[in-house]
Structure 1
Amino acid sequence: MDDIITDKQFWTGVGILIQNYHAINRKIFGCILHKVLKVKKGIKIISCKDDQQLQDICLNRTGYDVIEITEAAFHSSLNTISEANSNQDQEQYEGFILVFKFLTKKLQKNIEAIGKIDLICKIYTCQFLSEDLDDYSVQINNGELLFSALDQHALDKNKRWIDFVLKPKLLKWCKKPTVEASDTGDVTKQPKSLQLVDLESYNELYKSLKCKYAHKALMCWKTAKESTDPLKFIYEDLAISAYLISVWKRVGPPTGFADLGCGNGLLVYILSEEGYNGYGYDVRARKIWSCYPKTTRLIEQTIEPQIFKAPEDVDWLIGNHSDELSPWVPILAATRSFQTHYFLLPCCAYELSGAKFQRRNTGSSVYKDFYAYLQTLSQKCGYATLKDRLKIPSTKRLALVGYERTHSRDDFDKKLKEIANLVEEERMKYGNGISEVDIKLRDRNELVRNCTKIDKNIIDALVLKIFQQLLSAASIMPEKTNEEANRWQCGNALRMCEIVKSLDKNELQNIKAECGGIKTLLRNKHEIFEFIEKERVRVRKPQLHVATQAKEKLQTVKKRNCFFFLHHPDGCPLLDEQCSFIH
């Protein structure tokens, strides 16, 4: 049966659960396993809630036969447990005692916890030294998972959490550990998050930065009337700021940093406010830039990689979703000076020529293949490249850090020649189709490509033609009954390919350079057309305004003529006072 779980699957799932409790409880940011004790005898009578007993065990002041082992050795032990060798393992030891610290997202204090793995009874118990989290246990019995809520005062609440959160998640981890588990070290091939920083100090710093800057940044967004989602950018840049500061605490602070393609400039603002000297560059200034203090140095400038020079005091280059500049960041850092380092969080994939990235490995996604390419590029530039995975509200969160060099300072000039040859080869092989010399970067003035710049007469003619085509399509349907004939005509739905075939080349040429083409045009005219499914279009029947349905005064100011009143054979189905357009 599909629901049957083997012992090996169970202990693999438990191993993932131990390090991924944050995946089943939103209050938790992460988990630190402070100590692992292998219990050779007496696991059944050890109480996780008895603080004195636990302290005695940790200090080895009792008669229990326990030894301390590393976290890696613990996971290795769990991975080797299977139905075939479990009896042999149990003769050597009866289980483990785990001493945790759970890092909280919002609570001021982190939470200590004790876990007990009983290999004899095949049960895992987790008890928290706080009332903010609920104790639980999970056991395997004849291939079935049995869950228990240990806090009787909140039994109903705990049972709902177990049934709808813990149980389905653990079942997934038992059956498909490599799909779900990404932070579990030995039990998965996925990279562990935040490997290059101390997890606890990073979390405390992130919470501190969030208290200091989240509200200020939100007010800046409102003042500047930025159209982008503030919460997504604010919390992402706060997390990246905390990460960079944590890295710099480990390797030493920068003399100065330069954020290439800084966008809204929030990352530069936070780092500058925290006392770090730096600059932000972008091809276009943003409205929000004017809300930052003068100490936040943001420069509107097109960065041409072959001639760009950062200020003399810069020894860290940052590429945070830097798009066309992403493959250039390790190159610019490597060629600037021997002591220049970089941080790169890539997003959209581009070649050095500015063209869209061409996959080298068709068996991988574009993002993963681009990330692997950047890593190779960084290594060829002479960096002992470090990889990490950030915890940010984005699917693109794999980062690269170039700090130490694989060559000596004496070989720096030789490496510059190698990099120059590398750049020339890459640009010739993966050109932009425009120039073998120039690099196609983003224009300062971004083109508006949503069918709004086309001549109004051309748009109106196309809309009317497609509208009439949809109405005419109804004529091929079977003969209508009297009741149907009296209804307002909606025509028939057509596929996009049918609509495109009905248009001539001159009509299509007028909008072929626009993003989306005909589809964008029809979506812009949402008061006339509607999409059903993904590729079928029909005439939208006008509906009563919400205010009219509530018998309230219509608040919409009529500014445009009613398309249906002018062009539909039955006119508009709404009365003048009901319609949002002029009759």
Structure 2
Amino acid sequence: RSSYSCCYFVLPCCFFDFHGKYSRRQSKKTQYREYLDFVAQVGYVCGFQVEEDCLRIPSTKRVSLIGKNRTYPPTERALIDKQITQYINNRQICAVVTCNRRVGFKHKDHSDVCEKANSELPENETEIADTIWMPGFQPREKVEQIRNCASLPRDFVDDVVLSVANLLLNASPQKSCSPGENMNTWNQGESLSLKEVAEHLNKETLKRLKSEYGGLQTLLKNNHQVFEVLNGRVHIRDWRKEMPSRKAKPEVKRRLSAEAFKTRLCWFFIHHPDGCSLPSESCPYAHGTEELR
């Protein structure tokens, strides 16, 4: 609850309601336009004269809503508080039963919104202005914890990557290739389901991954250089299949392109029993520290 002199500015972006993801209710409008109308409606229910403006910013969602003036005198603040409470409760009920009932709304004339909300005020709620609008509401922390496996210790991630890679490689017979031999013998290993991979990891590792969003799958996808996760199955990535467009480039451009991306060491060059499936000049990763740029 803000003071009567409070003003606000909002730049709607993500489509969320009071209790979760915003659910569309009008097919004749775009999702963005409908959501803008909803946010404007909230402002009118709260007793603001809502103005709309388009910002000059490089974004597709640049329509802002501003509330500078009130539509009611200070003496009617308790009545508006009841109106807001009823509006929030109505939307919560709709969210629970997934019905399409909503307060009437017209973009040019919003007076009917307040009238509708006032007509639905319960008679026994004489002290509703002193109650909490949304009991149990928990705002996000000021500093949101990163839980997408990106903040895990590097040593821990490297150990998991090496363990999973060895598991996939050892699942098929070793076919090491000697220098000059056809690279078709390069061992890509077998594919295993995420469940099968998880069964081979120790409990402490799984417990640590479980506290991250996406767990094991997220960690493996983050290590795009080594793994490919498709339809719930984990594969060793074969970079020979990732470079079809490079063949069409002139030789000079291919060399420059490879050098430009060599800011990280090639995992396969260091850890794979057959080395990297690509020659140094074609691999986007460095085959040794001397190639790092």
Bin of the TM-score, shorter chain as denominator length: 0.5 to 0.7
Matched with 2:64 is 270
Post-superposition shift, 1:472? 0.4
The aligned amino acid for 1:416 is I
Q: Does 2:81 match 1:337?
A: yes
**Aligned partner of 1:546 among 245, 268, 271:** 245
Q: Distance in 1 between matches of 2:201 and 2:79?
A: 54
Matched with 1:504 is 202
| CA spacing shift, 1:505–1:571, aligned 2, 3 Å | same
| CA spacing shift, 1:255–1:564, aligned 2, 3 Å | closer
Post-superposition shift, 1:541? 0.6
Q: Distance in 1 between matches of 2:206 and 2:244?
A: 35
**Aligned partner of 2:265 among 561, 579, 582:** 561
Pairing 1:231-270 to 2, within 5 Å after superposition: 236-241=31-36, 254-256=47-49, 270=64
Q: Deviations over 1:378-399 (max 9, x none)?
A: xxxxxxx6368x9xxxxxxxxx
Q: Distance in 2 between matches of 1:368 and 1:484?
A: 61
Instruction: Give yes or no for contact 2:194–2:234 (8 Å, CA) kept in 1.
Output: yes
Q: Deviations over 1:535-557 (max 9, x none)?
A: 11110111337345412243233
Instruction: Give yes or no for contact 2:83–2:121 (8 Å, CA) kept in 1.
Output: no
Matched with 1:475 is 173
Instruction: Give yes or no for contact 2:261–2:284 (8 Å, CA) kept in 1.
Output: yes
| CA spacing shift, 1:405–1:559, aligned 2, 3 Å | same
Matched with 1:444 is 142
Q: Deviations over 1:283-303 (max 9, x none)?
A: xxxxxxxxxxxxxxxxxxxxx
Q: Distance in 2 between matches of 1:413 and 1:343?
A: 14
Q: Does 2:219 match 1:521?
A: yes
Instruction: Give yes or no for contact 1:545–1:580 (8 Å, CA) kept in 2.
Output: no
Matched with 1:405 is 118
Matched with 1:386 is 103
Q: Deviations over 1:30-86 (max 9, x none)?
A: xxxxxxxxxxxxxxxxxxxxxxxxxxxxxxxxxxxxxxxxxxxxxxxxxxxxxxxxx
Pairing 1:84-483 to 2, within 5 Å after superposition: 193=26, 236-241=31-36, 254-256=47-49, 270-272=64-66, 277=68, 313=70, 337-338=81-82, 369=96, 371-372=98-99, 386=103, 403-406=116-119, 414=126, 416=128, 420=131, 439-475=137-173
Q: Deviations over 1:483-520 (max 9, x none)?
A: 99961111111011110010001222332211111100
Instruction: Give yes or no for contact 2:168–2:189 (8 Å, CA) kept in 1.
Output: yes
The aligned amino acid for 2:65 is L
Instruction: Give yes or no for contact 1:545–1:578 (8 Å, CA) kept in 2.
Output: no
Q: Deviations over 1:451-500 (max 9, x none)?
A: 11011011001100100000001139xxxxxx999611111110111100
Identity of aligned residues (%): 23
Matched with 2:229 is 531
Greater fraction strand: 1
Instruction: Give yes or no for contact 2:164–2:197 (8 Å, CA) kept in 1.
Output: yes
Instruction: Give yes or no for contact 2:149–2:215 (8 Å, CA) kept in 1.
Output: yes
Post-superposition shift, 1:255? 3.9
| Secondary structure in structure 2 of the residue aligned to 1:565 | helix
| CA spacing shift, 1:490–1:386, aligned 2, 3 Å | same
Q: Deviations over 1:188-246 (max 9, x none)?
A: xxx9848xxxx9xxx8xxxxxxxxxxxxxxxxxxxxxxxxxxxxxxx64444445777x
Q: Deviations over 1:335-394 (max 9, x none)?
A: 7535658877x99xxx9xxxxxxxx9xxxxxx963545x97xxxxxxxxx6368x9xxxx
**Aligned partner of 1:577 among 266, 281, 285:** 281
Q: Distance in 2 between matches of 1:541 and 1:547?
A: 15
Q: TM-score, normalized by length of structure 2?
A: 0.60
Q: Distance in 1 between matches of 2:263 and 2:62?
A: 43
**How many matched pairs?**
233
Q: Distance in 2 between matches of 1:337 and 1:462?
A: 54
Q: What runs of 5+ residues in structure 2 fail to find an aligned partner?
A: 1-23, 52-56, 108-112, 175-180, 288-293
Post-superposition shift, 1:565? 0.6
The aligned amino acid for 1:496 is L
Pairing 1:24-39 to 2, within 5 Å after superposition: none
| Secondary structure in structure 1 of the residue aligned to 2:171 | helix
Instruction: Give yes or no for contact 1:256–1:277 (8 Å, CA) kept in 2.
Output: yes
Q: Distance in 2 between matches of 1:522 and 1:468?
A: 14
Q: Distance in 2 between matches of 1:253 and 1:511?
A: 44
| CA spacing shift, 1:340–1:420, aligned 2, 3 Å | closer
Q: Deviations over 1:115-144 (max 9, x none)?
A: xxxxxxxxxxxxxxxxxxxxxxxxxxxxxx
Post-superposition shift, 1:580? 0.4
| CA spacing shift, 1:335–1:451, aligned 2, 3 Å | farther
Post-superposition shift, 1:566? 0.6
Q: Distance in 1 between matches of 2:166 and 2:61?
A: 52
| Secondary structure in structure 2 of the residue aligned to 1:405 | helix
| Secondary structure in structure 2 of the residue aligned to 1:581 | coil
Q: Distance in 2 between matches of 1:422 and 1:341?
A: 6
Post-superposition shift, 1:423? 6.8
The aligned amino acid for 1:561 is L
Q: TM-score, normalized by length of structure 1?
A: 0.33
| CA spacing shift, 1:445–1:404, aligned 2, 3 Å | same
Q: Which has the higher contact order (CA 8 A, sep 6+)?
A: 2
Q: Deviations over 1:290-324 (max 9, x none)?
A: xxxxxxxxxxxxxxxxxxxxxxx476xxxxxxxxx
